[in-house]
Amino acid sequence: MVTRGGLMSEERRQFIKGSAAMAAGASVGAGAWAAGSDAPEKKEVRIGFIPLTDCASVVMASVMKFDEKYGIKIIPTKEASWAGVRDKLVNGELDMAHVLYGLVYGVHLGVGGPKKDMAVLMNLNHNGQAITLSKKLADKGAVDVASLAKAMAAEKREYTFAQTFPTGTHAMWLYYWLASGGINPMKDAKVITVPPPQMVANMRVGNMDGYCVGEPWNHRAIIDGIGVTAATTQDVWKDHPEKVLGTTGDFVKKYPNTARAVVMAVLEAGRWIDASLSNKMKMAEIIAEKSYVNTSVDAINQRILGRYQNGMGKTWDDPNHMKFFNDGLVNYPYLSDGMWFLTQHKRWGLLKDHPDYLAVAKAVNQTELYKQAAAQVKASVPKSDMRSSKFIDGVVWDGKDPAKYADSFKVRATSPA
């Protein structure tokens, strides 16, 4: 296969190689399941979601009835905030959720709320979030991180930026992006937490200078003329993990077959979304409805096709737009991905001490269960639980020495003198 650059990437080559090995030697049959049967123990599964484009594979698994194929009924339930999702997962009101990667890890370690053993079943999507700056700032020349730093130095005042949850992905993308321009989010700015659907309204009334959130709330700010896209999160980390299918450790232990069935249904839905332009457009029409994201279709359907505009006259086609399957590359719960969020929690003072990074990731990320589900739906899996990624500042993360990596950043919560 030839990639955009002309040659197959090493990551994809190893990925396909691992998939072939698994297909040859790791066919999972009914006898491998708990109690000798693969029948789901729980037929109805309540899955919480926040009104964001990346809830699509969970919603479409229900709407397109992929769930019925695996003997379950997914009941998508719309939630108001990530804190609400966290609480309902912990107390059992929700069985699973479309949820922030870092939120799951935070709950597992008791950061930012109650402590409870948690599980990541799969990644739901890669890419597709963004950092929006207010039109007022952009009009003063702050259109990227370098010009933002210059504007903040020139006009001394309190600058406010919003993320969606303290341990979540958007907080980490925002902090990493700001720090790449020499802005310390803990010292040089005020950071607030705002639920995704409320971002645009808060910017409209002047409550923040910028925010990081999932789509469609960045494109919506452009449509409404109140914000500009200063960066996409794929600019920060190409093919970064974003939302996950999360649940509690207890749920996986009690209902392993149900968990596996949900993963299979959602994998099929993600594959269906990514399969064609018409499928993406149909998905956009459905999730734009009031019961899901509750916005106009045009706020969703451009960026899921990679058609971007920044609100300042620039348009481009981004090959690294939001993907839900991408031949299986999207969905594997790499241990190194989970560990990365822990390194950033340590960097920004959410964790006081270094955890056992690898042990935590192994406890949370359900790699074996995922492999079983992937084999059943013939989705590719990588041969390694780790992957290597280069970030916006040129720093490479590969999971090999997480403590050293976490301590290596000059801009952090407690910067060295």
When pLDDT is cut at 50, 70 and 90, the band that residue 146 belongs to is very high
User: What is the pTM (predicted TM-score) of this model?
Assistant: 0.91
pLDDT over 70 at 277, yes or no: yes
How high is the pLDDT of residue 247? 98
How do residues 44-61 score in pLDDT, each as one tens digit? Answer: 999 999 999 999 999 999
What the block records as the tokens of 332 is 């594997």
Percent of the chain with pLDDT over 70: 91
pLDDT-above-90 percentage for the chain: 89
Chain-wide mean pLDDT for the chain? 92
Residue 29 pLDDT > 90, yes or no? Answer: no
Q: Rounded mean pLDDT of 262-272?
A: 98
Q: How many CB atoms lie within 10 A of CB 275?
A: 12
Tell me whether residue 297 is exposed, middle or buried, using C-beta atoms within 10 angstroms of its C-beta: 0 to 12, 13 to 18, 19 or more: middle
Per-residue pLDDT at 85 exceeds 90: yes
Predicted pLDDT at 114: 87
**pLDDT given for residue 36 in this prediction:** 56
How does DSSP classify residue 237? Answer: B
Q: 406 is written with which tokens?
A: 């976490």
Give how far the C-alpha of residue 334 lies from the chain's centroid of Cα atoms, to the nearest Å: 13
379 vs 207: CA distance, rounded Å = 44
pLDDT at residue 12 tops 70:
no
CATH code: domain 27-126+241-305+322-333+352-384 is: 3.40.190.10
Q: Which two tokens stand for residue 362?
A: 């192994």
pLDDT digits (tens, 9 = 90+) for 117-126: 999 999 999 9
For the cut 80, the answer to whether the pLDDT of residue 348 exceeds it is yes
Mean pLDDT of 128-155: 97
Whether 3 has a pLDDT exceeding 90, the answer reads no
Contact 89, 107 (CB under 8 A): yes
| Cross-strand partners of 120 | 246, 365
Q: Is the pLDDT of residue 15 over 70?
A: no
Q: What is the pLDDT of residues 403-413, one digit of tens each?
A: 999 999 999 99
Question: For residue 309, what are the contacts with CB-CB under 8 A and spacing of at least 6?
Answer: 222, 229, 302, 315, 316
Residue 112 is predicted with a pLDDT of 75
Strands 243-248 and 190-193: unpaired
- Is the pLDDT at 28 greater than 60? The verdict is no
- How far, rounded to the nearest angstrom, does the alpha carbon of residue 82 sit from its chain's CA centroid? 13
**CA-based nearest residue to 63, from 258, 357, 266, 218:** 266
Q: Please report the pLDDT score of residue 14 as a whole number.
A: 53
**pLDDT (tens digit per residue) in 233-261:** 999 999 999 999 999 999 999 999 999 99
pLDDT at 32 over 50: no
Confidence of residue 381 (pLDDT cuts 50, 70, 90): very high
Collapsed DSSP state (helix, strand, coil) of residue 63: helix
